[in-house]
Amino acid sequence: MGPAWHGGDPALCTAVGSALVTAPKTSLTPPPGALAPQRHPEAPAPGEPIGSHYDQCFGCGTGQPHGLHLQARAGEGVNVIAEFTVTPDHQGAPGLAHGGVLASALDETLGALNWMMHVISVTGRLETDFLRPVPVETVLHLDAQVRAVDGRKIYCSATGRIGGPDGPLAVRADALFIEVKVEHFIDNGRDEEIRAAMEDPDQVRRARAFEVNP
Ligand SMILES: CCCCC/C=C\C/C=C\C/C=C\C/C=C\CCCC(=O)SCCNC(=O)CCNC(=O)[C@H](O)C(C)(C)COP(=O)(O)OP(=O)(O)OC[C@H]1O[C@@H](n2cnc3c(N)ncnc32)[C@H](O)[C@@H]1OP(=O)(O)O
């Protein structure tokens, strides 16, 4: 038998007869004690653009030539909306968007939820359903919302519709984001980019926006 998805880590699988059966992974369903998400009092007003968290970000960076250039806006609740236009650069099959690009668009929209709660979090798990092919030149209407919060774990979901905000569902995702401190980036990022980010007053200002979290 070939290696399982977890590389055969004995902590993650149990032997049943001769077969390896994976243990259930952390659920994307909030546990019973999870709390309803709170919109931060200083979250952007509904309809207000959220802006890029880092100008070199593949998802939202305005200075990233290869990026998706996603521009999310605050929703009414603990949610954000965005539009993403599929271009020929995003193809997987002739004339159709690559699934990984669509997953990135969902991931980035979910990441923008950080601004609605003033919490820094990173994707721990992202489970994506691809329901319809998405042709080049399609505008994908994205909507992401936080469903619940349990300690550092943020349970959220996103949808991507075609033809309009109420159009047919093309992609959807459930995700678990994990809250981190700004040190997560400083400790793990490459020195060159971290140094440049710390010398950029706009970047420092964006990071500081998360420091006070009542
Ligand atoms: C000066 C520079 C400043 C730059 C930054 C400035 C501003 C920043 C502002 C906003 C920007 C923030 C983010 C970017 C936004 C959007 C981009 C799109 C989103 C992404 O693209 S982001 C990149 C991809 N992402 C990663 O690069 C994560 C890699 N990963 C890790 O870095 C660790 O893995 C981590 C931190 C996730 C956890 O590590 P950890 O040690 O802190 O915590 P631990 O492992 O204890 O987990 C605690 C509890 O979460 C559960 N848990 C953990 N992982 C799980 C999983 N995968 N599935 C199910 N449950 C999971 C555990 O089971 C436990 O649960 P319990 O508490 O119940 O036991």
Q: Ligand 1 pocket, 109 CB below 6 A?
A: no
**What is the pLDDT confidence band of residue 130, given thresholds at 50, 70 and 90?**
very high
Residue 141 to residues 22, 72, 157, 163, 193: CA-CA distances in angstroms?
A: 35, 11, 14, 8, 32
- The domain total for the chain is 2
Q: How many angstroms separate the alpha carbon of residue 184 from the centre of ligand 1? A: 9
The reply to whether 14 and 82 lie within a common domain is no
Sorting pLDDT into bands at 50, 70 and 90, what band is 9?
very low
Structure tokens belonging to residue 181: 């401190």
Both 113 and 183 in one domain: the answer is yes
Residue with tokens 């909306």: 81
State if residue 6 touches ligand 1 by the CB under 6 angstroms criterion: no
Query: Which residue range(s) make up the domain with 9?
Result: 1-25
pLDDT at 1: 34
Domain match, 90 and 196 both: yes
CA distances from 181 to 28, 44, 129, 208 (A): 22, 21, 30, 11
Residue 84 lies in a domain: yes
CATH of the domain at 150: 3.10.129.10
Same domain, 97 and 174: yes
| Per-residue model confidence as pLDDT tens digits over 151-200 | 999 999 999 999 999 999 999 999 999 999 999 999 999 999 999 999 99
What pTM does this model have? 0.90
Q: Which pLDDT tens digit goes with each residue over 86-119?
A: 999 999 999 999 999 999 999 999 999 999 999 9
One domain for residues 20 and 88: no
Identify the pLDDT of residue 26: 67
* Residue 185 and residue 129 in one domain: yes
Residue 68 domain-assigned (yes or no): no
pLDDT digit string, tens, across residues 12-56: 444 444 445 554 556 899 999 999 999 999 999 999 999 999 999
The answer to whether residue 98 sits within a structural domain is: yes
Q: Do 77 and 149 lie in a common domain?
A: yes
Atom from ligand 1 closest to the CA of residue 108: 18
Is residue 58 lining ligand 1, measured as CB closer than 6 Å? Answer: no
pLDDT at 211: 66
83 against 15, higher pLDDT: 83
pLDDT, position 106? 98
* 109 and 175 within one domain: yes
